[in-house]
Chains A and B, each alone.
Chain A
Amino acid sequence: MAILVNSDTRLLIQGITGSFGARHAQLSLDYGTQVVAGVTPGKGGQRFANTVPIFDTVGSAVKETGATVSVIFVPPPFAADAILEGVEAGLDLVVCITEGIPVNDMVKVKHAMRGSKTRLIGPNCPGIVTPGTGPDSTGGCRIGIAPGYIHRRGNIGVVSRSGTLTYEAVWQLTTRGYGQSTCVGIGGDPVNGTSHRDVLEMFNNDPETEAIIMIGEIGGTGEEEAAAWAKEHCRKPIAAFIAGATAPPGRRMGHAGAIVSGGKGTAAAKIAAMEEAGIAVSPTPAEMAQTLLNILKK
């Protein structure tokens, strides 16, 4: 039912007392997410919002509260360490929001994580939302920085590298009466924990997800790999949008991973791969939901 997280998920927040972490911890609590612990070294023993216990370490937070998922709001110089602390504590899932982690740090993190049971999502991502059934979709699980109210419980899976483009797609769906099973932001960095292909596979195996919107951008070959996988294995209809057709080559377009390098990673190549795989491609960001709905009606 949905993927990765749901209303039962017990979440801990690394960096809960920083201004960024605190703000989104409160919004997640307001949404009905089960925020069971926070971790800020040196502030163990205090409480966040008078309810959430704060610990010095992820290990002690997990031991005391049974949290299985962490979200990281820790600044770039310390974020790789925070991820590995979560892995060491045996979490099922670590979602790293932090933008600006040095690539070399992420190369080491990914290498160190091989074989561990922990899945990493991000870094440089908006997080994950599994919408609830309350007003404005409250009662679900909101991990990260997405606005909760735009969501609606339903059957469309959304996976994206971009934050605000995700919100656009989600809002287009919600306002047309179509809800979402889970929305996953995999983030804009070149080296990250989870790919488009990984999430497509999860949606494919999720009984609640009936169709998928996939949002990509220039840089790397993740979308092409996802398209190739989908062609062979995905039983559910997919609509996609790829941003960056007008991006100049060799420039990093905001996201560290959004760069056309040595002629590789262009929007045109990704769109061609999508179409080759039978994935419907929206020509503009305004038509993402409509593109999916058009193929659903067939």
Chain B
Amino acid sequence: MNIHEYQARELFAEFNVATQPGRVAFTPEEAHKIAADLGGKIVVKAQIHAGGRGKGTFESGFKGGVHLCDTPKEASDLAAQMLGQVLVTHQTGPVGKEVSKVFVGEAVDITRELYVAILIDRATSAPVVIASTEGGVDIEAVAEESPEKILRVLIDPTLGLMPFQTRDIAIALGLTGPLLNQTSKLLTNLYRLFLERDCSMVEINPLVVTSTGKVLALDAKFNFDDNALYRQPSIVAMRDVTEEDPREVEASKSDLNYIGLDGNIACLVNGAGLAMATMDIIQYAGGSPANFLDVGGGASREQVTAAFKIILADPKVEGILVNIFGGIMDCNIIATGIVEAARETALSIPLVVRLEGNNVAAGKKTLAESGLPLISGEDILDAANKIVAAVKATA
């Protein structure tokens, strides 16, 4: 689950991680008020779940999703140029994202830009702090070109991030003298946030030093452990469904595990590994997968119907491949569900079904006798070849 920059700031405020003062505005009038309250030089930043905002362009022609200004009037004018407009950045894709809120904050005079992140290191199954003097740039490029500039400090899960470790990190980043203790405190609070809000990653890029001698988190990206959301109601409350793929929002309502892609051949599978493998084999057979969809252990008629509806709502979909290994589930029950879903959705695009497992003979019979123009696949590869061919034939 992702959150907006202004929500990240709220979390930082809650956990006392020093950040630049400011608030979110939904209207130019609000932007004016916030700028007036703050006084001094102001930064106005479009709030979307994507990076590259500074260099982006609005569909209206207005350039840049991040601007500095000097007065509250200028702040509200900038907000008016951004709010309700679509911002296109190199991370949003050409479709861009509509801006419905802006962050209005105190502009800071930056003397250094650094990088710090906390995430779970899979190799050691422990949390790790990643820090670098190279902030404000793409950290993956730094890791590629200058790996010696990346510091990794493993955290003992029982002890947590120790104060002496935070000081080692500060010194490694060249944050000495009056900056040392500030940084130590920031890192300690950041780890506390990471732990108490069940983050899978928190990334501050850049962590800045200002000309007034402050160490601040200027921008932050959070990822939360989806498995822990049941115990994080305040994080769940931050969810912005308008930033999510509407197909995925719909799917989650029916408890379907669905991820939308760009292709034209949809799939419906039981089991995440098999679902990934089915997407792969569609491509292998010369097609383009439209989605990932795992119906899990419950390929009931209701679930299959809900899944078909979501798949068919995607105008790019030209064919469907259903791949089910009925382990304990009865293939005939699954086949009946598929037939009924196809009827209920008045399915008119090619459908290839590959069933295997428990009671498969009866299942195949049900499909064959359904009177529907569905095609049976003998094995996964045969099924993939058949759906690709069927879609090409209708093109």
Q: Which residue numbers of A lie inside 8 Å of B, CB to CB?
A: 27, 76-77, 100-104, 106-108, 110-112, 145-147, 149-150, 160-168, 171, 188, 190-191, 215, 217-221, 241, 243-248, 251-258, 262-263, 267, 283-287
Complex CA–CA separation, A165 to B294 (angstroms): 13
Question: Any chain A CB within 8 A of the CB of B198?
Answer: yes
Whether B272 lies near A218 (C-beta < 8 A) is no
Question: Any chain A CB within 8 A of the CB of B240?
Answer: no
Complex CA–CA separation, A14 to B122 (angstroms): 27
Question: Any chain A CB within 8 A of the CB of B84?
Answer: no
Task: Kindly supply a per-residue 1/0 record for chain B positions 102-135, scoring 1 wherever the CB is within 8 Å of any chain A CB and 0 otherwise.
Answer: 0000000000000000001011011100000000
Which chain A residue shows the least CB distance to B296? A254
Most buried by B among A107, A160, A164: A164
* Min CB gap B382→A, angstroms: 8
Complex partner residue of A243 from B143, B270, B280, B379, CB under 8 angstroms: B280
Residues of the B chain whose Cβ atoms lie less than 8 Å from the Cβ of A162? 271-274, 276-277
Question: Any chain A CB within 8 A of the CB of B344?
Answer: no
* Min CB gap A189→B, angstroms: 8
Asked whether A168 and B325 contact (CB < 8 A) given A149-B358, A251-B259, A252-B226, the answer is yes
Complex partner residue of A164 from B126, B257, B261, B270, CB under 8 angstroms: B270
* Min CB gap A35→B, angstroms: 17
Whether B280 lies near A284 (C-beta < 8 A) is yes
Asked whether A103 and B120 contact (CB < 8 A) given A111-B158, A215-B273, A254-B272, the answer is yes
Complex partner residue of A167 from B143, B225, B231, B357, CB under 8 angstroms: B357
Residues of the B chain whose Cβ atoms lie less than 8 Å from the Cβ of A160? 273
Complex partner residue of A246 from B289, B294, B379, B381, CB under 8 angstroms: B289
The 6 closest A-B pairs by CB, nearest first: A162-B273, A254-B272, A164-B271, A147-B327, A102-B228, A286-B381
Question: Any chain A CB within 8 A of the CB of B95?
Answer: no
Complex partner residue of B327 from A102, A164, A219, CB under 8 angstroms: A164
* Min CB gap B362→A, angstroms: 15
Listed by A's residue number, 30 A-B pairs whose Cβ atoms lie within 8 Å are A77-B230, A103-B120, A103-B198, A103-B225, A104-B225, A106-B125, A111-B125, A111-B156, A112-B158, A145-B328, A147-B328, A150-B327, A150-B357, A160-B273, A162-B271, A162-B274, A164-B269, A167-B325, A168-B380, A188-B272, A188-B273, A190-B122, A247-B279, A254-B271, A257-B122, A258-B272, A263-B140, A284-B381, A285-B278, A286-B381
Complex partner residue of B292 from A103, A247, A284, CB under 8 angstroms: A247
Whether B380 lies near A102 (C-beta < 8 A) is no
Whether B140 lies near A262 (C-beta < 8 A) is yes
Whether A246 lies near B120 (C-beta < 8 A) is no
Question: Any chain A CB within 8 A of the CB of B227?
Answer: yes
Residues of the A chain whose Cβ atoms lie less than 8 Å from the Cβ of B280? 243-246, 267, 284-285
Which chain A residue shows the least CB distance to B278? A285
Residues of the B chain whose Cβ atoms lie less than 8 Å from the Cβ of A248? 259, 261
Residues of the B chain whose Cβ atoms lie less than 8 Å from the Cβ of A219? 122
Which chain B residue shows the least CB distance to A244? B276
Given contacts A77-B230, A167-B357, A246-B280, 20 further A-B contacts (CB under 8 A): A27-B328, A76-B230, A102-B227, A107-B157, A108-B158, A145-B327, A147-B357, A162-B273, A164-B269, A165-B271, A165-B277, A191-B122, A241-B277, A243-B274, A244-B276, A253-B292, A254-B276, A262-B140, A284-B284, A286-B381
Residues of the B chain whose Cβ atoms lie less than 8 Å from the Cβ of A103? 120, 198, 200, 225, 227-228
Whether B231 lies near A77 (C-beta < 8 A) is yes
Which chain A residue shows the least CB distance to B378? A286
Complex partner residue of A258 from B140, B157, B276, CB under 8 angstroms: B276
Whether B273 lies near A283 (C-beta < 8 A) is no
Residues of the B chain whose Cβ atoms lie less than 8 Å from the Cβ of A101? 227
Complex CA–CA separation, A104 to B232 (angstroms): 13
Complex CA–CA separation, A251 to B274 (angstroms): 16
Task: Kindly supply a per-residue 1/0 record for chain B positions 82-113, scoring 1 wherever the CB is within 8 Å of any chain A CB and 0 otherwise.
Answer: 00000000000000000000000000000000
Residues of the B chain whose Cβ atoms lie less than 8 Å from the Cβ of A256? 225-227
Question: Any chain A CB within 8 A of the CB of B80?
Answer: no
Complex CA–CA separation, A198 to B383 (angstroms): 35
* Min CB gap A129→B, angstroms: 11
Whether B123 lies near A168 (C-beta < 8 A) is no
